[in-house]
Amino acid sequence: MCGIAGIIYRNGEERQEVGRDMTRMLQAMKHRGPDSTGYALYRPDTDGYVMHVKLAESNGQQSFEFVERLRRQRAQIEERLRSLGARIRDVDASAEHAMTVTFDHDGDLKALTDYIEDIRGAEVLSLGRSLEIVKDLGDAETVAKDYGLNDFIGTHAIGHARMATESDVDIANAHPYWAYPFPDVAVVHNGQLTNYHQWRRRLERAGHRFQSECDSEIIAVYLAERMAKGDSLEDAMRRSLHELDGVFTYICVTENALGVAKDELGAKPLVLYESDDLVALASEEIAIRKVVDREIETYDPYEGTVMVWTR
């Protein structure tokens, strides 16, 4: 199953309560996937980078020195960032097993990410000037409360309510996926990819790292790789319809665009609502109605559809 949702405001610079809206949409689709919930939220561009790092699985094994280990990891992360020349502005450690670092950096982001992930247990969930990925076990309201997402003011967002079918229930296998090492690109996916291993081997040979066993991670890295080769987001997504096998509806976001693609069988649901103020899309209309509380004109895009909106 899985439920996916996306929302992008079209009224220019005006900021919106995107965190609250996304929580409402995902909570309405809790029945599609209660295992984990994830958000990719975009704030208006900041000067520096924001990095979300997972320090441990929230349902993982916790040894006697677990708290001490988390403290050590936090210290190591800050130390390694500084050693690469990053200037740390702010560190937020409100969630027990994750942390958020805001910093300035002029150097190579891939090298920086690799160096941070070299710390045992650490995984960079997202890195970018405006992107923030938050994912954890539980429903949308639980995750939003734990990470204070309902106050998030931003421009656009995607979210995912996961029913695990192909891989474990943990943070590593939760959506959205960040397109390591390309800043500000994230993907949520509903479906199954059948040529996952083929693509994973290809992309690994090209130097990409995979943090999970989840087939959806391929899409994020695949798109980022295409965009790095010069494709636009829309071109990369069109190409993916032919190169990725299986059934899927996925939503991809960058710092200023939101795109959706449906496989050529139209096997996975998507309902779309477009207005002058906003574009909202979700697996079920009931999610959109939590943001636009009135009778609205919506439709299901057809198989093989690729659509991109910019803000």
Partner 1 sequence: MDAIGATYDARGLVELDGTVPKISEIDGDRAVLDARELSTRKINAELRWLLYEEGIKDVTVLNPSARHSLGVGILTRCRLTFEGSLGYFGVGLIDGPEVQINGRVGWSVAENMMSGVVVIESNAGSLAGAALRGGDLVVKGQVGARTGIDQKGGTILVLGDAGSMTGFMMQRGRQIICGNVGPGLGDSMYDGVIYVGGKIASLGIDCVPGEWTDADTEFIERKFRIYDLGAPPELQKFVCGKKLYNYDNLEPAERKMVL
Out of 13, 106, 151, 297, the only residue in the binding site for partner 1 (CB under 8 A) is 297
Interaction of residue 275 with partner 1, rule CB under 8 A: no
Residue 49 or 273: the one with the smaller Cβ distance to partner 1 is 273
Q: Are strands 271-274 and 278-282 parallel, antiparallel or unpaired?
A: antiparallel
Interaction of residue 303 with partner 1, rule CB under 8 A:
yes
Beta bridge partners of 161: 3, 37
Scanning 48-56, 85-93, 189-197, 280-288 for contacts with partner 1 by CB under 8 A, the matching segment is 280-288
Q: Rule CB under 8 A: is residue 266 a binding residue for partner 1?
A: yes
Continuous H helices in 244-288: 285-288
SS3 call for 223: helix
- Of 271, 263, 267, 262, the residue nearest 307 (C-alpha): 262
Read off the amino acid at residue 240: S
Selected from 45, 206, 277, 302, the binder of partner 1 by CB under 8 A is 302
Q: How far is the CB of 1 from partner 1 (least distance, A)?
A: 12
Q: What are phi and psi of 44, to 5 degrees?
A: -55, 145
Strand partners, 132: 41
Spatial neighbors of 74 by CB under 8 A, at least 6 apart, are 55, 91, 93, 99
Q: CB of 295: closest distance to partner 1 in angstroms? A: 5
| Residue bearing tokens 């690799």 | 114
Closer to partner 1 by CB, 166 or 300: give it.
300
Q: Residue 298 CB, nearest distance to partner 1 (Å)?
A: 6
Which bin fits 66, alpha (ψ -120 to 50), beta or left (φ > 0)? alpha
The minimum distance between CB 303 and partner 1, in angstroms, equals 5
Query: Token match 């040894």: residue?
Result: 63
Instruction: Indicate if 2 belongs to the active site.
Output: yes
Instruction: Check residue 264 for interaction with partner 1 (CB under 8 A).
Output: yes
The residue whose two tokens read 């982001």 is 109
Helix or strand (DSSP H, E) at 103: strand 98-104
Minimum distance from residue 292 beta carbon to partner 1 (Å):
10
Sole binder of partner 1 in the list 82, 94, 300, 310 (CB under 8 A): 300
Our finding on whether 286 is near partner 1 (CB under 8 A) is yes
Among 17, 48, 298, 311, which residue sits at the site for partner 1 (rule: CB under 8 A)?
A: 298
**What is the number of H-type helices and E-type strands within the chain?**
8, 15
40 or 270: CB nearest partner 1 = 270
Judged by beta carbon, residue 214 or residue 271, the one nearer partner 1 is: 271
Q: Please give the positions annotated as active site.
A: 2
The footprint of partner 1 (CB under 8 A) covers: 264-267, 269, 271, 284-286, 288-289, 295-300, 302-303
